[in-house]
């Protein structure tokens, strides 16, 4: 009987130990919940999202292999009513952090919560968009990595490969705040450097093809800022530009890959990764967005779409960093 009781006690104690280990293991692991709102789907913004997830997940795994990140992703498809409803849905889930990809997405989320940390990317002017009080010290629940691009260097690059002495064409969506800001910078640089420009505004994908065709005989090349409408229309723009033998310099590398000729600019995947690393600082190291300066891309590089360059009669090797 004693042997039986001792055996039973041993089994019970072992079970208690195992249960304790299981409970401890469960409590050691933690799931971070991140809500993502993207304004529209195209190569640049998709790359930013991919980079963010990579940057945050990699940083978390290095910190604690048992820690997991759960992502809830919503895409507004460029519709403001979707932005409002999706912002509401995401904030109601009470995530640990929100990622906003694009200015309208950021504004939508910022209107719904003043407490949940919001990290932004693909937003050109956070202060101008009313998201922060200062880019150096946000003093709100918003911080992140801005896609402010080197517009002046990009105009200089286009001028260096322009096919004639005709004005440089700039095409953009006048309803996008980010685009308007970049065009202002382009105009200022052009005026200071005696570069003639011609601006063309479109507000629908239906107008893009005719706008490029209309510039065929009046410009020597086309500049496209980091503009969601332009980014979504790159295949059309690339086709029409090749037919017109016009070089196209884009605001981002992804846009050049999708139909442009070249750019000296940001890579959205790298920018997203930068934002992901900032999110890690908030989620794990408990930094406050209020005190985290808005960052800009740490890496700029020259990209040449060799196939498109050759198609319009430009030797890819002749294109150099501005």
User: What single string gives the DSSP state of each residue in 88-125?
Assistant: HHHHHT--SEEEEESHHHHHHHHHH-SSS-EEEES-S-
The answer on pLDDT for 23 being more than 50 is no
For 182, 209, 249, 304, 320, the CA distances from 157, given in Å and listed in that order, are 16, 24, 8, 11, 8
Annotate 139-177 with b (16+ C-beta within 10 A) or e (fewer).
ebbbbbbbbbbbbbbbbbbbbebbeeebbbbbbbbeebb
Q: What is the mean pLDDT of residues 161-187?
A: 94
Residue 315, helix vs strand vs coil: coil
Cα gap 88→67, rounded to integer Å: 27
The answer on pLDDT for 12 being more than 60 is no
CB atoms within 10 A of CB 68: 14
CA trace torsion 262, 267, 268, 272 (10° rounding): 180
pLDDT score for 299: 86
Confidence class for position 29, pLDDT limits 50, 70, 90: low
The answer on pLDDT for 24 being more than 90 is no
Pairing of strands 142-146, 295-296: parallel
Structure tokens at 132: 């922060």
The answer on pLDDT for 148 being more than 50 is yes
Cα gap 33→75, rounded to integer Å: 17
Higher pLDDT, 15 or 184: 184
The answer on pLDDT for 169 being more than 70 is yes
pLDDT score for 249: 98
The answer on pLDDT for 19 being more than 60 is no
pLDDT score for 2: 45
Q: Which of 50, 54, 52 is nearest to 98 (CA)?
A: 52
Query: Whole-number mean pLDDT of the chain?
Result: 91
pLDDT score for 239: 96
Higher pLDDT, 113 or 12: 113
Spatial contact of 124 and 228, defined as CB atoms under 8 Å apart: no
Q: Which of 14-23, 134-143, 154-163, 252-261 has the lowest mean pLDDT?
A: 14-23
pLDDT tens digits for range 198-257: 999 999 999 999 999 999 999 999 999 999 999 999 999 999 999 999 999 999 999 999
pLDDT tens digits for range 96-105: 999 999 999 9
Greatest pairwise CA separation for the chain in angstroms: 105
Spatial contact of 56 and 97, defined as CB atoms under 8 Å apart: no
Structure tokens at 168: 């440089």
The answer on pLDDT for 16 being more than 70 is no
Cα gap 46→174, rounded to integer Å: 23
pLDDT score for 9: 43
Cβ neighbours of residue 146 closer than 8 Å, sequence gap 6 or more: 120, 121, 123, 124, 125, 126, 135, 294, 295, 296
Percentages helix, strand, coil for the chain (3-state, rounded to 5) are: 50, 20, 35
pLDDT score for 11: 41
CA trace torsion 2, 6, 7, 13 (10° rounding): 160
Q: What is the mean pLDDT of residues 82-95?
A: 97
Confidence class for position 15, pLDDT limits 50, 70, 90: very low
Q: What is the mean pLDDT of residues 101-119?
A: 97
Higher pLDDT, 9 or 174: 174
The answer on pLDDT for 21 being more than 90 is no
Positive or negative, the CA dihedral 159, 163, 167, 168 is negative
pLDDT tens digits for range 269-312: 999 999 999 999 999 999 999 999 999 998 899 999 999 999 99
Cβ neighbours of residue 317 closer than 8 Å, sequence gap 6 or more: none
pLDDT score for 298: 87
């Amino acid at each position: 009987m004693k042997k039986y009781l001792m055996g039973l006690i041993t089994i019970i104690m072992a079970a208690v130990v195992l249960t304790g280990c299981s409970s401890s293991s469960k409590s050691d692991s933690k799931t971070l919940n991140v809500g993502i709102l993207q304004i529209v789907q195209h190569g640049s913004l998709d790359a930013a999202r991919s980079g963010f997830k990579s940057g945050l997940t990699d940083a978390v795994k290095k910190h604690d292999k048992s820690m997991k990140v759960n992502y809830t992703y919503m895409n507004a498809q460029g519709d403001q009513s979707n932005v409002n409803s999706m912002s509401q849905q995401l904030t109601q889930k009470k995530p640990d952090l929100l990622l906003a990809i694009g200015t309208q997405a950021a504004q939508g989320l910022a209107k719904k919560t003043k407490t949940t940390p919001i990290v932004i990317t693909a937003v050109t002017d956070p202060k101008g968009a009313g998201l922060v009080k200062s880019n150096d010290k946000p003093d709100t629940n918003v911080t992140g990595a801005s896609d402010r691009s080197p517009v002046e260097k990009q105009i200089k690059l286009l001028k260096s490969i322009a096919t004639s002495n005709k004005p440089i064409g700039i095409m953009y969506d006048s309803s996008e705040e980010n685009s308007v800001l970049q065009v202002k910078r382009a105009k200022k640089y052009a005026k200071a450097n005696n570069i003639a420009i011609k601006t063309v505004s479109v507000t629908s994908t239906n107008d893009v093809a005719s706008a490029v065709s209309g510039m065929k005989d009046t410009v020597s090349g086309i500049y496209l800022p980091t503009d969601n409408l332009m980014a979504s229309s790159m295949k059309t723009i690339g086709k029409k530009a090749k037919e017109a033998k016009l070089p196209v310099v884009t605001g981002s590398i992804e846009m050049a890959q999708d139909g442009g000729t070249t750019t000296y600019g940001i890579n959205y995947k790298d920018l997203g990764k930068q934002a992901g690393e900032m999110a890690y600082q908030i989620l794990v190291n408990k930094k406050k967005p209020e005190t985290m300066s808005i960052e800009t891309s740490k890496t700029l590089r020259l990209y040449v779409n060799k196939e498109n360059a050759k198609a319009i009669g430009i030797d890819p090797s002749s294109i150099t960093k501005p």
